[in-house]
Amino acid sequence: MIRESYINWIVLAGFLVVPLWALSADEPFTITLATRAVLLALAAVGLNIALGIGGLVSLGHAAFFGLGGYAMGILAHHAQTFTPLELGMFTIAGTKSMPIIWLTAIIVSALAAFVIGLLSLRTTGVYFIMITLAFGQMFFFFSISWSAYGGEDGLSIYVRNGFPGLNTLVPIQFFGLCFTALCAALFVHWKLRKSPFGLALNAARQSPARVETVGLNPVRLKLLAFVISGAITGLAGALFADLNRFVSPTMFSWQLSGELIVLIIIGGVGRLMGPVIGAALFVTLEHFLGAFTDFWHVWLGVILLLIVLFARGGVVGILTGKAGPHV
Amino acid sequence: MSEAVLETRNLHKSFGALKATDDVSIDLRPGEIHAIIGPNGAGKSTLIAQICGGLQPDAGSVHLSGRDVSGLSTAARAQAGLGRTFQISALAMEDTVLENALLGALGQSGRPWQFWRSAARRTDLLDRAMAALDRVGLLDDAEQVTANLSHGQRRQLEVAVALTLGPKAFVMDEPMAGLGTEGSKTMTTFLDGLREEAPILLVEHDMDAVFALADRISVLVYGRVIATGTVDEIRASKEVKEAYLGEEA
Amino acid sequence: MSTILIIEQILNGLQSGIMLFLMAAGLTLIFGVMGLINLAHGSLYMVGAFAAAAVAGATGSFLLALVAALAAAALAGAIVEMVVIRRLYKAPHLDQVLATFALILIFSEGTRWIFGSFPLFLDVPSYLSGPIRLPGGIQYPLYRLVLIGVGLSVAIGLWWLTARTRIGIQIRAGENDREMIAALGVDISKLYTIVFALGAALAGLAGALVGAIQSVQVGMGEPVLILAFVVIVIGGIGSIKGAFIGAILVGLTDTLGGIFLPQLFKLFMETGAATQTGSALASMAVYVLMSLVLIWRPTGLFGARA
Ligand SMILES: Nc1ncnc2c1ncn2[C@@H]1O[C@H](COP(=O)(O)OP(=O)(O)OP(=O)(O)O)[C@@H](O)[C@H]1O
Ligand SMILES: [Mg+2]
């Protein structure tokens, strides 16, 4: 059996080596694929904080992914059409600057996560799952019927947004940005997990009654976890939209929420690198099985079923021989 | 006479037609162990849940050091000074023994909103947690995963977590349950010394332990307190014998 | 706005609510009895619709198509229960969500494999098509009235089944106490398979009935599934009565909101903006309704109190 920390470093190294190899072999498409995997991983790292540590089975995290995406889409749209964004009392200009877009995405999705979490955390169990799902759908349908920003067709951005000192149009540079964001999110997860807050949150997942009897409020702990989680997934959404230079209601779709959970389970729920491994496998499968058959989702379904029924700890669980946290 | 640390006034709770708590007024005085005994289903756990906040009474109030805590949440009551142990261990089973004790210390410190510092580096928490584990004899098992503990060790850990809180009053639901003779003896000796620190409201089926420990005993039958008194008074009470002890003796 | 239009819209709302009930009843029954959250319920709806479309295409008989829908969905449900679902009853909700999500992937892509990506069409039979004149001079499609009738009959049948029959008593006993019912000598795994197949058959029926007024295509089940979730969350998970009332509420809110909210906003906004705001809000109306119900009662209208 392999130590988890070895696996973690190997996976991270792999994520650096593949695009660098692709760069030298002049295979820009592979870099794009790797970027896609990094961003799905980033979104799932966000979800993993709520799901893996806090035990919150959110089937609506696409809401935050999509909000991040639209934060980028709307700001960039106003910048490229040179129209100001009217927000009732005040007016702001659009922007093509990534740092501002990221900050907006993080704040907007954190606020949304706060409101959704506040309402959803009144419930537990299946109710929580269904309610988060319903909130995700709410955003989905809203984005479809809100024609100002493209409605069903979505919004296209002509040129990728900029980052000071970098040329984001060069795939490897954009990859570097996304990879850095992923590492930062992983660092947040790692720090959180060991912090007093993480200790309490992790206990709140296992035994809310215990946490209450030591004088802590489990719902507040989970709410904060949900907000942090939503903010990270929102950031991933903004970057993902930038990768495709396109944002549409599908970023809000519940299939996406489901896939984020799937990534985590394939890799190992509650594990630091679970979502990263899951995303790498997912994108690889999608690419190779997708080339081989149009119906690769069938095989994804079968693999997923097998993992759920027979290998609950996911890849990390199999490699380390330790089942890992139960959600 | 000194003022009660913990007191219930005319608590009532019904589940449908079943009166699980029927006008219960008991108090816990400084330095004492007050045992609550009664047959299975008498309403002991229900009473404790109302005292600690898991269950809202239909009527009546709970007072801690003279303050009405009836409207407070479970967490707020714990912060106000209630140290509870569960009849069925409620611990973070995937965490280590130390982490469970740290959680108690964290709750006691009231500062869980730290995200950047490692919990294991908070020496204030660590000292408190280790001290509590040491007192119940679990120090050597601090790094064990809780799920791997024996049943008896889990009961000890329950008590240790309550200790980390430094409560004004302990409320313990069957701490001896399933401990075996040897374990019960150790726990009895331990609780005996604990009353100096804070009084204990003790729900227990183990009569040897109750008679050895209790300063006062209240007998609960069908949700009602049918008698309260010293060990000797309760032993002598005809009512109690008929209603409860009679069946066992 | 005319009274006729309002009545028409109310009937439309009722009709979609009642079809939702067919979905929600199965979901809530399965959750109430087995404690299982089944995302693949929408796939059974799709299976029913495809089976109906295929059989109607081959035989031209709508009744045969409905029978095929019931049979195919029940069979698919029974097989899925025996192969996969049965291993999940004691599993955490997360596992149930994932495994049934996996089933959706398999069902959807499998159906696409067999039938291709183009939608199939299932026609309303001639004897049920065309409008009918209601008292008050309202013209209303006969088929939609029939849907309301069929749905109501199923609701009554379900009530009778759970309240009056032996198997209903077993089902209700199973909700309360699995050990008890096993001790009474009831074959609990057979009972579960039957309940699951029954829920599946209802979903399949709904799929076939609705398939005749919408197109039959892969992915048609999921939007309905999610609305059915909203329904049972509003009604209280496990309660058939709650599912019925929740379904009607959701059906009416969804339909009436889409028509009336834009009108409402026109009272104080210019037309373009009103249509946009109104229809955007209408698309969220059922979810707002759900949040309101949950703020008021976190376990739904008729759910067991936690
Ligand atoms: N939530 C509830 N709903 C309905 N009845 C309940 C509930 N909780 C407890 N009861 C009933 O109330 C009565 C008292 O239960 P309680 O658990 O307080 O008894 P107890 O004295 O602690 O018993 P034991 O010695 O077995 O622990 C029992 O008859 C029990 O079935
Ligand atoms: Mg008890």
pLDDT (tens digit per residue) in C220-278: 998 899 999 999 999 998 888 999 999 999 999 999 988 888 888 888 888 877 888 88
- Let me know if residue B213 belongs to a domain: yes
- Let me know if residue B244 belongs to a domain: yes
- Let me know if residue B100 belongs to a domain: yes
pLDDT tens by residue, B208-244? 889 999 999 999 989 999 989 998 888 888 877 777 6
Domain hosting C73: range is 3-218
Please report where in the chains the tokens 């490897």 appear, as a residue: A172
Backbone region of residue B65 per phi and psi (left: phi > 0; alpha: psi in -120 to 50; beta: other values): left
As a whole-number percent, the residues of chain A with pLDDT over 70 amount to: 100
Look at the alpha carbons of A170, A172, A176, A179 in this order and tell me if their dihedral is positive or negative: positive
pLDDT tens by residue, A157-179? 988 988 998 888 889 999 999 99
Mean pLDDT on A137-150: 89
Separation between Cα atoms, residue C62 and residue C84, nearest integer Å: 32
Q: Does the pLDDT at position B52 exceed 60?
A: yes
The reply to whether B248 and B150 lie within a common domain is: no
Mean model confidence pLDDT for chain C: 88
C265 Cα–ligand 2 center, Å: 58
The distance of C275 to chain A (nearest Cα, Å) reads 10
Please report where in the chains the tokens 């009512």 appear, as a residue: B239
B46 Cα–ligand 1 center, Å: 6
Contact C283 A142 (CB under 8 A): yes
What φ, ψ does residue C141 adopt, rounded to 5°? -60, 130
The reply to whether B237 and B141 lie within a common domain is: no
Question: How is residue B184 written in tokens?
Answer: 């019960």
The distance of B194 to chain A (nearest Cα, Å) reads 19
pLDDT tens by residue, B120-162? 888 999 999 999 999 998 999 999 999 999 888 999 999 999 9
Separation between Cα atoms, residue A78 and residue A74, nearest integer Å: 6
Give pLDDT, residue C176. 65
Give pLDDT, residue B244. 66
Separation between Cα atoms, residue C34 and residue C36, nearest integer Å: 5
Separation between Cα atoms, residue B60 and residue C282, nearest integer Å: 47
Contact C110 A298 (CB under 8 A): yes
pLDDT band at A180 (very low <50, low <70, confident <90, very high): very high
Q: Does the pLDDT at position A111 exceed 50?
A: yes
Give pLDDT, residue B14. 93
| CATH number of the domain encompassing residue B25 | 3.40.50.300
What φ, ψ does residue B81 adopt, rounded to 5°? 125, 20
- CB B199 within 8 Å of CB B187: no
As a whole-number percent, the residues of chain C with pLDDT over 90 amount to: 50
- Let me know if residue C21 belongs to a domain: yes
DSSP C220-273: -HHHHHHHHHHHHHHH-TT-HHHHHHHHHHHHHHHHHHHHHHHHHHHTTS-HHH
Domain hosting B130: range is 92-166
- Let me know if residue C227 belongs to a domain: no
Q: Which of B11, B12, B14, B15 to mutate to test the pocket of ligand 1 (most atoms within 8 A of CB)?
A: B15
Q: Which residues pair with B172 in a beta bridge?
A: B85, B202
pLDDT band at C305 (very low <50, low <70, confident <90, very high): low
Which residue in the set C95, C102, C233 is minimally distant from A127, CB to CB? C233
The reply to whether B61 and B39 lie within a common domain is: yes
- Let me know if residue C236 belongs to a domain: no
- Let me know if residue C172 belongs to a domain: yes
Between the two ends of chain C, the Cα-to-Cα distance in Å is: 45
- Let me know if residue B239 belongs to a domain: yes
Q: Which of A48, A70, A120, A130 to mutate to test the interface with C (most CBs of C within 10 A)?
A: A130
Surrounding ion ligand 2 within 5 Å at CB are: B 44-45, 87
Reference C88, options C68, C243, C80; nearest CA is C80
The reply to whether B146 and B173 lie within a common domain is: no
Reference A252, options A269, A233, A280, A268; nearest CA is A233
- CB A134 within 8 Å of CB A250: no
Q: Whose CA is nearest to atom 29 of ligand 1?
A: B41
DSSP letter for A149, please. G
Cβ-Cβ pairs closer than 8 A, A with B, add up to: 106
Between the two ends of chain B, the Cα-to-Cα distance in Å is: 35
Instruction: Give the 3-state secondary structure of residue A97.
Output: strand
Mean pLDDT on C111-131: 87
Separation between Cα atoms, residue C54 and residue C57, nearest integer Å: 5
The reply to whether B149 and B226 lie within a common domain is: no
The distance of C153 to chain A (nearest Cα, Å) reads 28
Report chain A residues whose CB lies below 8 A from the CB of B165.
214-215
Overall domain count for chain C: 1
- CB B202 within 8 Å of CB B175: yes
Give pLDDT, residue B46. 94
Minimum mean pLDDT among A35-49, A109-123, A293-307, C68-82: which range?
A293-307
Separation between Cα atoms, residue B18 and residue A295, nearest integer Å: 59
Minimum mean pLDDT among A58-72, A86-100, B73-87: which range?
A86-100
Give pLDDT, residue C175. 66
- From A266, which residue of chain C is nearest by alpha-carbon distance? C98
Give pLDDT, residue C171. 75
Contact C229 A327 (CB under 8 A): no
- Let me know if residue B86 belongs to a domain: no
Rg (CA), chain C: 20
Overall domain count for chain B: 2
pLDDT band at A62 (very low <50, low <70, confident <90, very high): very high
Contact C93 A59 (CB under 8 A): no
Cα A142 vs. chain centroid, distance in angstroms?
A: 21
Angle at A92 between CA A86 and CA A95, to 5 degrees: 120
Who contacts A151 (Cβ-Cβ below 8 Å, separation ≥6)?
A143, A144, A145, A249
- Let me know if residue C249 belongs to a domain: no
The reply to whether B161 and B208 lie within a common domain is: no
Give pLDDT, residue B1. 45
Give pLDDT, residue B238. 80
DSSP letter for B89, please. -
The reply to whether B159 and B175 lie within a common domain is: no
Dmax over Cα atoms in chain B, in whole Å? 62
Give pLDDT, residue A210. 94
The reply to whether B241 and B218 lie within a common domain is: yes
Please report where in the chains the tokens 């280590």 appear, as a residue: B96
The reply to whether B174 and B119 lie within a common domain is: no
H helix runs in B55-197, sequence order: 74-80, 97-109, 123-136, 151-164, 180-194
Number of neighbours of residue A197 by Cβ within 10 angstroms: 25
Question: How is residue A130 written in tokens?
Answer: 């269904």
Contact C98 A137 (CB under 8 A): no
pLDDT tens by residue, B164-212? 999 999 999 999 888 888 888 888 999 999 988 999 999 998 888 899 9
- Let me know if residue C91 belongs to a domain: yes
The reply to whether B159 and B172 lie within a common domain is: no
A172 Cα–ligand 2 center, Å: 63
- Let me know if residue B193 belongs to a domain: no
Q: Which residues pair with A156 in a beta bridge?
A: A246
Tell me the pTM.
0.92
Q: Does the pLDDT at position B249 exceed 60?
A: no
Side-by-side strand order, sheet with B82-85 = B82-85, B169-173, B200-203, B33-37, B216-221, B224-229
- Let me know if residue C55 belongs to a domain: yes
- CB A51 within 8 Å of CB A230: no
Contact A207 B90 (CB under 8 A): yes
**Chains B vs C: touching, with 3+ CB pairs under 8 Å?**
no
Which ligand lies nearest to the CA atom of residue B86 in the structure? 2
The reply to whether B127 and B176 lie within a common domain is: no
